[in-house]
Amino acid sequence: MSLVSIMEKSTCSCENCQLRSLFFSHVSMDELNNICDIKIEKQYSKGESITNEGERIHEFLYMKEGLVKLSKTDIDGKDQILSFSKPFDFVSLLSVFSSDKYKYSVTAIEDTTVCILDLEVVKKFAQQNAMFTMDLMSSISEATDKILLDNLAIKRKHLKGRIAHVLLYFSDYIYKKDEFELPISRREIAEYIGMTTENVIRTLSEFRKDNIIKIFGKDILIADKKRLRSISEFG
């Protein structure tokens, strides 16, 4: 399908989307309107799979709303969480140009809206627009660097430091507040930090007894952030 042959729609609102400054800053408004005309928005409920490891890649995905986890199955058949992505992260970047199949799974951990573009359209833009390609490569590099640096930071820490790191990650990076509903289970925390679920449960209980955090069901309140940061840094 030729982008220039697609009729523009006056109802397109992509020009107001944060995505424009993040990714399409070197795409003309006419081209952006054409992209908006052919994109599809799809809603996923918490726990629903967006992509599955091993599936063929036909589409380019980016997240408009919600929160997802990226995970991979290890040789023992267990899930290993690689990273979490928030709105406007490009959840399909890591595999989209390196393979014809997804190397990891993407699952919604909150109700999530994903925008979908035909991959061939994105590739056509990459071939015709050098600055678009540079923006795309920059986004791929940033996504890769984030996963590598987060995993290195976690591996350098002991158990308590790893769990403190996760709590601060959701507090500072995802929700930007000290009280929030933890969107992942104790088991998923264990999958992310490479520890057992029992160790996670025990450590969270110790944090609560020490008045570092308060737990109200799924809600977490960081009561002593200075101490939690110290544990994350030196734990």
CATH number at residue 22: 2.60.120.10
**In terms of domains, do 65 and 166 share one?**
no
**In terms of domains, do 131 and 163 share one?**
no
The pLDDT, as a whole number, for residue 8 is: 35
The pLDDT, as a whole number, for residue 14 is: 55
pLDDT by residue (tens digit) across 20-48? 555 566 667 776 666 677 788 899 999 99
The pLDDT, as a whole number, for residue 144 is: 85
Mean pLDDT of 194-216: 96
Residue type, 1: M
**In terms of domains, do 147 and 183 share one?**
no
**In terms of domains, do 126 and 218 share one?**
no
For the chain, give the mean pLDDT: 84
**In terms of domains, do 70 and 169 share one?**
no
**Domain housing 94:** 3-153
The pLDDT, as a whole number, for residue 17 is: 58
**In terms of domains, do 203 and 140 share one?**
no
Mean pLDDT of 67-76: 90
**In terms of domains, do 161 and 149 share one?**
no
Split into its structural domains, the chain has a count of 2
Mean pLDDT of 107-122: 90
Q: Which of 71, 74, 23, 53 is nearest to 185 (CA)?
A: 71
User: Which residue, of 125, 153, 181, is where some domain finishes?
Assistant: 153
What tokens does 171 get? Answer: 């507090």
Pairwise CA distance, residues 127 & 27, whole Å: 13
Pairwise CA distance, residues 109 & 21, whole Å: 26
pLDDT tier at 126, thresholds 50, 70, 90: confident
Mean pLDDT of 49-67: 90
